[in-house]
Every structure is written in C-alpha cells, then in structure tokens.
C-alpha cells in the first residue's frame, strides 16, 4: 500500500501549521489513517496533542536539515508504518534536499502546497528570490 505524501511549505508566519491543523480536523481528509507528521521547523502555533491522537497522527520533529540525510525517513517509515505523510517543510531548506533524500519506495508525492502571507510576499520576493522560486 502506497502512502501519499503532502508537502506543506512557506515562510514563517504563512500559516502552515494552521493549514495542517485544518487538514487534520477535516473528516473528509482524515479517515483514521495512520498519519506521520514531519515538522521541520518550530512555528508560533503548536499542535494540540488531543487533535493528534484523535486524527491518528504521530508528530516527529526534524530539527536539522541533516536529519533528511542518511536513512532517517526509511527508519521512520519502518517504525511508524504511516498510511499517509504530511511534511511541514522549512522554507529555508531548499526543496532539493528533500527531493534527494532517501525515502521509502512506498511514499508517493501527492501534493506540494506553498503558503504565502500576502503582506510579506513582495519583501520576501525582493530579498529572497531564490527561496521563493525553489522547486
């Protein structure tokens, strides 16, 4: 059985965590599957442990880009046996790092969603164009 992978990216304050919380609360999206949530940065909003339990979601924090190297993702797959993976990706890490990481063969990219705060978009585009255009 293949596990769909959803990558949620965007700069700090763009609403990634809130978006993922909405995904996990949506009964049309969550149907009891074991979900592995890989959080690659600490934002302002935290995940509610009750919501994580109710949505059958296991939260794993990857604090350093080096956590994507080696066999970490395969180890997490064997340990957690997810039926779905959501990655809250750190926008300061190039997506190529994630693309080139060794991943389980049964992980299939389902969707990449990039969230942007309209109030800071022009500033980010002007000063960090290479991160804004990554992909």
Q: What's the pLDDT tens digit per position in 78-100?
A: 999 999 999 999 888 888 889 89
The predicted model scores a pTM of 0.86
The SS3 of residue 40 is: coil
pLDDT one-digit tens code per residue, 15-66: 999 999 999 999 888 788 999 999 998 777 899 999 999 999 999 999 888 8
Residue 135: what pLDDT? 45
13-28, pLDDT tens digit by residue?
889 999 999 999 998 8
CA distances from 79 to 60, 73, 74 (A): 12, 10, 9
């Amino acid at each position: 059985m293949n596990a769909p992978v959803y990558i949620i990216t965007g700069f700090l304050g763009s609403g990634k965590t809130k978006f993922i919380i909405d995904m996990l609360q949506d009964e049309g999206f969550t149907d009891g599957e074991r979900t592995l949530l890989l959080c690659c940065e600490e934002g302002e909003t935290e995940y509610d442990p009750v919501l994580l339990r109710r949505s059958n979601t296991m939260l794993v924090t990857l604090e350093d880009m080096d956590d994507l190297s080696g066999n970490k993702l395969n180890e997490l797959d064997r340990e957690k046996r997810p039926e779905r993976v959501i990655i809250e990706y750190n926008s300061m890490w190039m997506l190529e790092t994630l693309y080139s990481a060794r991943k389980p063969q049964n992980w299939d990219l389902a969707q990449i969603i990039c969230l942007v705060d309209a109030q800071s978009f022009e500033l980010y585009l002007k000063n960090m164009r290479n991160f804004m255009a990554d992909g």
